Amino acid sequence: MCEVIVIASGKGGTGKTTVCTGLAVALAKAKNKVLIIDCDSGMRGVDLMLGISDRLVYDISDVISGACEYADALYRVEGDFELYSIAAPLYADDEVSPSLIRRFVDQVREEYDYILIDSPAGTGSGFYAAANAADRALVVINAEPISIRGCKNISYRLRELKMTDCRLIINRFDKKRFFDMGLYRDLDEVIDEAGMRLIGLIPEDMRVIALSQRGALAHNWSQTAVIFDTIVKRLEGVDVPIVVK
Ligand SMILES: Nc1ncnc2c1ncn2[C@@H]1O[C@H](COP(=O)(O)OP(=O)(O)OP(=O)(O)O)[C@@H](O)[C@H]1O
Ligand SMILES: [Mg+2]
């Protein structure tokens, strides 16, 4: 049975698109058939990170409006796995309404093991469309106050949507920087303040930036790939301890 997961954050730039693509690749490598739906209209990024933007002609608004067939807007990511992506519209004016996104997801979900939806930052209409179509949520934060505040905001909205399965990912974690800041006693304090159970701790890794700029995230993830593999295991209910490095 397919699981539809939204990747969200209150604050922009926490790493949602990076996490979405990284998890999608990890899930696909674990023999799952995976679809990423980019819901960040006007600021889409999944295609850039996966290196498929040169091939892109159609996006989800074209499918919904009937300007193309669903298969025309479905882009397969090259690799030894089954990973597909549907782009968000290039312009925010073409954003698709929450009810139509939901209907689309319900129509295609049984073709996949997982559908990951990349949400825009914040709690606007794009977030609502992404979250409303999902079964569970991953909220990405950085270990800092503004990001945690964003998480609380998102939590509140997710509760309104009756989403009960919400898990926290702390991204771009740098142990030295974290303790040098002197804002928190330890990571437990961050997790307590965010008010959500942790499912992944992803270190700051400069290679992630380099790979994402080159559209190579699907192919070479170095150490960070291992972290995504463990998050996938936890998503599937396996108890893998989280190590703070
Ligand atoms: N673990 C990491 N280590 C180093 N850099 C990272 C990491 N995760 C993400 N980044 C970098 O942070 C920047 C923002 O990441 P990303 O675009 O994934 O964030 P986002 O939350 O999707 O942003 P937006 O809110 O604009 O959609 C990118 O340059 C990305 O390469
Ligand atoms: Mg993004």
How far, in Å, is the centroid of ligand 1 from the Cα of 68? 31
Tokens of 3: 């699981």
Alpha-carbon distance values, 54 to 51, 74, 182, 221 (Å): 8, 14, 44, 21
Q: Dig out the tokens for 54 from the structure.
A: 């040169």
Instruction: Return d(Cα 208, Cα 30) in angstroms, integer.
Output: 21
**Do 218 and 78 contact (CB within 8 A), yes or no?**
yes
Span 129-154, average pLDDT: 97
Query: What values do phi and psi take at 118, rounded to 5?
Result: -85, 115
Q: Would you say 140 and 8 are in contact if contact means Cβ atoms under 8 Å apart?
A: yes
Q: How far is the CA of 32 from the centre of ligand 1 (A)?
A: 24
The number of CA neighbours under 13 Å toward the Cβ of 92 is: 7
The pLDDT of residue 221: 66
Per-residue pLDDT tens over the stretch 203-234? 999 888 888 888 877 776 667 888 999 999 99
Rg of the chain (C-alpha set): 17
Give the per-residue pLDDT at 243. Answer: 81
**In the prediction, which pLDDT does 212 show?**
83
Ligand 1 atom closest to Cα of 203? 1
CA of 62 to the centre of ligand 1 (A): 27
Task: Name every protein residue with a CB atom under 6 angstroms from any ligand 1 atom.
Answer: 9, 12-18, 40, 43, 45, 121, 171-172, 202, 204-205, 208-209, 212
Q: In the chain, what's the furthest Cα-to-Cα distance?
A: 54
Q: How far apart are CA 233 and CA 30, in angstroms?
A: 10
The pLDDT value recorded for residue 219 is: 74
CA–CA distance, 217 with 38 (Å, rounded to integer): 16
| Residue 240 identity | V
Residue ranges of the domains in the chain? 3-138+206-235
End-to-end CA distance of the chain: 35
From the list 98, 162, 130, the residue with the least C-alpha distance to 6 is 130
What does DSSP assign to residue 203? E
- Cα of 12 from ligand 2 centre, angstroms: 8
* Whole-number pLDDT of residue 215: 81
Distance 40 CA to ligand 2 centre (A): 7
Most ligand 1 atoms within 8 A of CB, residue of 212, 223, 228 to mutate:
212
CATH of domain 3-138+206-235: 3.40.50.300
What average pLDDT does this structure show over 108-113? 98
In the block, tokens 């992803």 appear at: 202
Q: Which residue has the least CA distance to atom 15 on ligand 1?
A: 15
Residue nearest to atom 8 of ligand 1 (CA): 15
What does the mean pLDDT of the chain come to? Answer: 94
pLDDT digit string (tens) for 48-94?
Answer: 999 999 999 999 999 999 999 999 999 999 989 999 999 999 999 99
